[in-house]
Amino acid sequence: MDRDEGLTALDNIVTQFNTYEDFLDSQITTVDLYYLEDEGLARQLVELGYRGTGEVVKREDFEARKAAIEIARLAERTQKKTLTSAGKDLQDNFLKALAVREEDNRNGKVSLNQQESDAVHTLKKQLATVIFIRDRNSHGQEVSGYIDYAHRLKIEDFEVYFSEKRRLLPKPTDMSFYNWNSHIAVWNSTPNYQVIADNPEGLLFKYKRDRKILNVDPKASPGDNSTRTPIQTELYIQAVIFDHISRRKT
């Protein structure tokens, strides 16, 4: 049995039984109790692997996995309450596209449906979205850049964007930023992506979790496990969303 199958079997046991003692009791037969005449001794023998009708599970593994599942459950419930796009009547395609990706980029899971992309259909993998925006800033200057969506979600409140009080625009602190009037160009690696700016064929981003390359050149393939989705929007001159799915085991 490989690691994934082992975790699946353990998860099934942990979710089926409230306590480790309940699991041990499920492994004890009436014949065991007849000959041993001691429930405590029967439990010890099951725990040591000398008795039992199923999988041998250590107490520390059971309790650690039980705690991990509970933490994940509480985190998911809290996450759903803190989605800044929740409850918003979004009209523009760009904001709708960000909304369906918000939860996945916040918690690292993938739950997008088939309509969003075949590449991310019900996959239990990690999603890392990159947003390209080209538009004019408050000074009327044309700017463009690539935004690490997950990173910006962690350091910034997107309530103002989903409520349309402000427009999301690239900043000099993002993965890339270019001011077409002043010709200022800036690149920054993020906790999720390494910027490769010296590539002769154009800007590349390497996802740090699986080391796959995301190619943002519209004339090239975006790369393994990545998709490029142009967004028809009234908010920007141009908007493109890149979705990268990390398939590396954790």
Q: pLDDT for 35-94, tens place per residue? A: 565 566 666 666 665 555 566 677 777 788 888 878 777 766 655 557 899 989 999 999
Chosen domain end from 53, 76, 99: 76
* Helix, strand, coil in percent for the chain, rounding step 5: 35, 20, 45
* Whether residue 60 is found in the same domain as residue 102: no
Chosen domain end from 76, 111, 133: 76
Q: How far apart are CA 191 and CA 38, in angstroms?
A: 56
- pLDDT-flagged residues of the chain (< 70): 1-10, 23-56, 75-81, 109-124, 248-250
* Whether residue 186 is found in the same domain as residue 124: yes
What share of the chain has pLDDT > 90, as a percent? 54
* Whether residue 110 is found in the same domain as residue 228: yes
Give me the domain span that covers residue 32. Answer: 1-76
Asked, for residue 83, whether it belongs to a domain, the answer is: no
Asked, for residue 96, whether it belongs to a domain, the answer is: yes
Do residues 84 and 162 lie in contact, with contact meaning Cβ atoms separated by under 8 Å? yes
* Whether residue 118 is found in the same domain as residue 191: yes
Residue type, 43: R
Chosen domain end from 76, 108, 141: 76
* Whether residue 51 is found in the same domain as residue 124: no
Residues in the chain, overall count: 250
Q: How far apart are CA 194 and CA 240, in angstroms?
A: 19
Question: Alpha-carbon torsion 126, 123, 61, 79, what sign?
Answer: positive
* Whether residue 68 is found in the same domain as residue 96: no
How much is the pTM? 0.64
Q: How far, rounded to the nearest angstrom, does the alpha carbon of residue 4 sit from its chain's CA centroid?
A: 18
For residue 74, give every residue at least 6 positions away whose Cβ sits within 8 Å of its Cβ, in sequence order, or none. Answer: none
* Whether residue 4 is found in the same domain as residue 69: yes
For residue 169, give every residue at least 6 positions away whose Cβ sits within 8 Å of its Cβ, in sequence order, or none. Answer: 133, 135, 137, 143
Asked, for residue 37, whether it belongs to a domain, the answer is: yes
* Whether residue 150 is found in the same domain as residue 27: no
**Per-residue confidence (pLDDT) for residue 34, from 0 to 100:** 55
* Whether residue 241 is found in the same domain as residue 217: yes
* Whether residue 65 is found in the same domain as residue 132: no
Do residues 196 and 203 lie in contact, with contact meaning Cβ atoms separated by under 8 Å? yes
* Whether residue 71 is found in the same domain as residue 110: no
Number of structural domains the chain divides into: 2
DSSP state of 155: H
**Per-residue confidence (pLDDT) for residue 160, from 0 to 100:** 96
* Whether residue 72 is found in the same domain as residue 117: no
